[in-house]
């Protein structure tokens, strides 16, 4: 059997799934609305409905398991409420305590840095807020783990809640200007 692989720029407001639960998700947007994918396609790792950016899809479960392993870096750009401080970034780098499904957890050390410039993403389909609500800033966070809503919980734990979250890299694969909602079929994933 020949497996197929895709890179997608998941837009805000879409679930990282292909089948809708009619009891819970009647009006939710699904990845299947963006492109006609082959049967058996699965998302490798997920981005929640409010998150955007690089998402890998495959029909090969073995690749999915490899990418979800703790050895593959995932880089996120988070727009946070307020002007994030060096002290907050140091805490992120060292690991912070968050609650994952009701259990307290200390995140692994990570790479985090303040971004001096807005990364220039296109406007989101739903506006974040306007300048009347105070300043925002951007931070880059690179993880080798991927707990449920982890980046959002990390930035909130250091006092800077995430307003917008975009995954820009998985291993060596970059979002690299792929337009929002665009799907690109690839022969394989070059992650290292």
- Second CATH level (architecture) for the domain 5-69+172-186: 2-Layer Sandwich (3.30)
177 pLDDT above the threshold of 90: no
For tokens 């909602």, the residue is 181
Q: For 41-88, what is each residue's pLDDT tens digit?
A: 999 888 999 999 999 999 988 887 777 766 789 999 999 999 999 999
Q: For the segment 25-52, what is each residue's pLDDT rounded down to a tens digit?
A: 667 888 988 889 999 999 988 899 999 9
Q: What burial class does residue 127 get, using C-beta atoms within 10 Å of its C-beta: 0-12 exposed, 13-18 middle, 19+ buried?
A: exposed
Phi-psi map region of 88: left, alpha, beta (phi>0 left; psi -120 to 50 alpha): alpha
pTM of the model: 0.92
Spell out the domain ranges in the chain: 5-69+172-186, 74-170
Q: Please name the residue that has the structure tokens 């409905």.
A: 49
For domain 74-170, the question of CATH label 3.30.70.1560 is answered with yes
Please give the residue that has the higher pLDDT: either 139 or 21: 139
Query: 21, 48, 130, 131: which is the annotated catalytic residue?
Result: 48
User: Quick check: helix, strand or coil at residue 50?
Assistant: coil
CA distance linking residue 124 with residue 66, whole number of Å:
31
Query: Among 124, 134, 47, which residue's Cα sits nearest to residue 84?
Result: 134
* Cα–Cα distance for residue pair 113/192, rounded to 1 Å: 22
48 is catalytic: yes
């Amino acid at each position: 059997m020949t497996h197929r692989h895709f890179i997608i720029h998941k837009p805000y407001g879409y679930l990282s799934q292909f089948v809708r639960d009619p009891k819970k998700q009647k009006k939710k947007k699904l990845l299947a609305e963006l492109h006609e994918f082959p049967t058996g396609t699965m998302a490798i790792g997920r981005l929640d409905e409010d998150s955007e950016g690089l998402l890998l899809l495959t029909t090969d479960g073995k690749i999915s398991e490899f990418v979800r392993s703790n050895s593959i870096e995932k880089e996120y750009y988070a727009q946070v409420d307020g002007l994030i401080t060096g002290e907050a970034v140091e805490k992120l780098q060292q690991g912070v305590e968050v609650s994952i499904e009701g259990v307290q957890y200390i995140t692994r050390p990570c790479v985090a840095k303040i971004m001096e410039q807005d990364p220039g993403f296109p406007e989101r389909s739903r506006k974040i807020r306007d300048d009347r609500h105070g300043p925002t800033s951007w931070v880059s966070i690179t993880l080798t783990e991927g707990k449920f809503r982890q980046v959002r919980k990390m930035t909130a734990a250091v006092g800077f809640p995430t307003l917008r979250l975009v995954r820009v890299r998985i291993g060596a694969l970059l979002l690299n200007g792929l337009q929002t909602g665009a799907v690109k079929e690839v022969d394989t994933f070059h992650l290292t």
